[in-house]
């Protein structure tokens, strides 16, 4: 992500620079404007974000975003109960699915994470993740002001791992916090900043 401040796009609206990267990427802009930094609740919805952030590790978010519908189809709509029941045959099917990222370790993690989530009581995954929402901090002016990890993301990653979740290090946990709206890292001046919470 760029280190600069908010940038005015062709539509006259100021955005975080990554929301304007390659103007042809309308899907990226839509994600920036309507999803990123907005509160997400519900166990299955949180589970989906955990999976997608894990699959994103080492890749561009745009790669995941453009395959999101493929992921949803392949992973039973990210139903925790559905994926927790997946078998080795499902893992083989996923490894052959061109609509997703075919990484054996990440597929295994998504299946293990569903099993870990299924062991929790209804609503507990949502409550667990949101219990790590930090106190509001100063509004970032540039992406240099946005951390990659925080004490809260480190603690969340540790808690999730203790419960059997995989591919949830502190950086991935912080990206999850951003994606689920626990933090609002839209830059000062970004038109979404005041509407994201």
The residues assigned a catalytic role are: 31, 53, 61
Asked if 163 and 116 touch (Cβ cutoff 8 Å), the reply is yes
- Give the angle 32-153-101 at the CA atoms, nearest 5°: 55
Distance of CA 89 to the CA centre of its chain: 27
| Nearest 10 degrees: Cα torsion 75, 78, 81, 83 | 20
Asked if 18 and 3 touch (Cβ cutoff 8 Å), the reply is no
What tokens does 143 get? 């992406």
Tokens 């925790």 correspond to 80
Tokens 């993690």 correspond to 109
Calculate Rg over the CA atoms of the chain. Answer: 17
- Residue 36 CA to residue 64 CA, distance in Å, equals 14
- Residue 10 CA to residue 193 CA, distance in Å, equals 18
């Amino acid at each position: 992500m760029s280190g600069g401040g908010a940038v005015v796009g062709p539509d006259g609206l100021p955005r975080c620079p990554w929301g304007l990267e390659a103007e042809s990427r309308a899907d990226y802009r839509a994600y920036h404007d309507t999803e990123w930094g907005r509160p997400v609740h519900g166990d299955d919805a949180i589970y989906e974000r955990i999976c997608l952030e894990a699959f994103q590790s080492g890749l561009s978010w745009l790669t995941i975003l453009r395959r999101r519908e493929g992921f949803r189809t392949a992973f039973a709509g990210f139903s925790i109960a559905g994926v927790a029941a997946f078998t080795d045959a499902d893992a083989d099917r996923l490894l052959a699915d061109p609509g997703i990222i075919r990484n054996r370790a990440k597929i295994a993690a998504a299946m293990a994470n569903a099993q870990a989530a299924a062991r929790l009581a209804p609503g507990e995954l949502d409550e667990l993740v949101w219990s790590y929402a930090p106190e509001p901090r100063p509004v970032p002016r540039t992406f240099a002001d946005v951390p990659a990890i925080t004490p809260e993301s480190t603690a969340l990653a540790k808690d999730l791992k203790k419960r059997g979740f995989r591919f949830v290090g502190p950086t991935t946990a912080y990206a999850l916090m951003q994606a689920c709206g626990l933090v609002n890292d839209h830059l000062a001046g970004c038109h979404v900043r005041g509407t994201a919470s």
